[in-house]
Amino acid sequence: MSSELVHLDVADGVATITLDSEHNRNALSRQLVTELREHLAAAEGDPEAKVVVIRSAHRVFCSGADLSEAATGSMEEGARAIIDLQRRITTSVKPVVVVLAGPVRAGGLGIVGAADLVLAAESVTFALTEVRLAVAPAVISVTLLERFTSRTAADLFLTGRTFSAAEAVAAGLVTRTVPDAELEVALAELLAGLSLGYPQGFRETKALLNHDVVARIDALGDDVAALSARLFGSDEAREAMLAFLNRAKG
């Protein structure tokens, strides 16, 4: 039995979900995505939790798709799971806060894009590197294209360049940045403010805020999941992924 890669702790009205797959920098493996979805469902149903926080136990928040899995098998099931994961976050009746203390890459930005509030340390960097692996940010486009302007999306999707936390705020991806040493204090302040809200207020306000992104997920989810599976299964993508994995080993 594999050890748990995602942990759930409920205390003081907050359900904290912690990604803890250090060996692959919290890559979106089947196990990690499954456990994250299960813990989100558990937090949703826990009457003691008013707010959900998603964070990492280690420096990297998420490195994107698990390329070792992607290079050796079909990604269709995984693509659909990530669509479902984003929908669970956006339709949760509880505010979902993502806390970033380290880098976020590729598919990990889908979790960030789906969240209601995102607090990031100033040193955090982001990159949508899919084009460099002969694929596209297909399944995460359902949330990111609701956050970015079309020009910002074109820049970040096509270049694959690394961008800063300050740029992420300007792009509409991150709510606020704080100096690295102040991240925990800022989170405590944010949670204190959220503790004053009522469940009905959260539920109905989230429905207003996330109406368009949920509609986009429902309209396009099947199509982008199929597109993602087709691209990851292509000879060009497999060649690019194997080259990347070989470089990482070297």
With 0.85 as the threshold, say if the pTM is over it: yes
Structure confidence by residue, pLDDT tens digits, 154-195: 999 999 999 999 999 999 999 999 999 999 999 999 999 999
Residue 248 scores a pLDDT above 80: no
**234 within some domain:** no
Segments forming the whole domain that contains residue 153: 6-181
**213 within some domain:** no
**228 within some domain:** no
Structure confidence by residue, pLDDT tens digits, 212-227: 999 999 999 999 999 9
Spatial contact of 131 and 103, defined as CB atoms under 8 Å apart: no
Spatial contact of 12 and 48, defined as CB atoms under 8 Å apart: no
Strands 104-105 and 6-11 turn out to be unpaired
**174 within some domain:** yes
- Domain with residue 133: its CATH number is 3.90.226.10
Q: What SS3 state is found at 195?
A: coil
**80 within some domain:** yes
**150 within some domain:** yes
pLDDT of amino acid 1: 42
Structure confidence by residue, pLDDT tens digits, 71-126: 666 678 899 999 999 999 999 999 999 999 999 999 999 999 999 999 999 999 99
**153 within some domain:** yes
**67 within some domain:** yes
Q: What is the mean pLDDT of the chain?
A: 95
Pick the more confident residue, 69 or 211: 211
Compute how many other C-beta atoms are within 10 angstroms of the C-beta atom of residue 22.
13
